[in-house]
Amino acid sequence: MPACYLPHPAAPACPLPLYGSRVPAGFPSPADDYLEGQLDLNRYLIDDSAACFMVRVSGDSMQGAGILDGDLLVINRSLAARHGHIVLAVVEGDFTVKRLHQQGGRTALLPDNPAYPPIDIGPGQELHIWGVVSACVRRTLP
């Protein structure tokens, strides 16, 4: 089972200032001093605290989806996994994070890195979807 991080029920909210203007990632522009309000990251990232948990990523098979080694993923167990969703799955007893592919009667778990092969789910093979990845959190400084 992956390492899980659950919010402590008594943990106080920690809202941060949220500015209404978007910050360009290209050429700099003058900053707006417009404060839109406050943002509580728990409320922003977690839709249903009773159905969500977090896991830390190991490996680079999902780097094309922007999920990198060491990132934290919010897993939502209340969402129904659909074709194209990134999911936390158990295949034959092993955990993996992959993109769910369900078309033409075929079910597969697809990596977002060409260095890894798809995981085709054959007849009788055990697949359990633990939840849908609803957010990815990354620190840029250690």
> Which residues carry out catalysis?
61, 98
Give which of 130, 24, 21, 30 is closest to 85, Cα–Cα.
130
Give which of 79, 107, 111, 77 is closest to 96, Cα–Cα.
111
Measure the CA–CA gap between 55 and 91, rounded to whole angstroms: 17
Partnered with residue 114 across adjacent β-strands are none
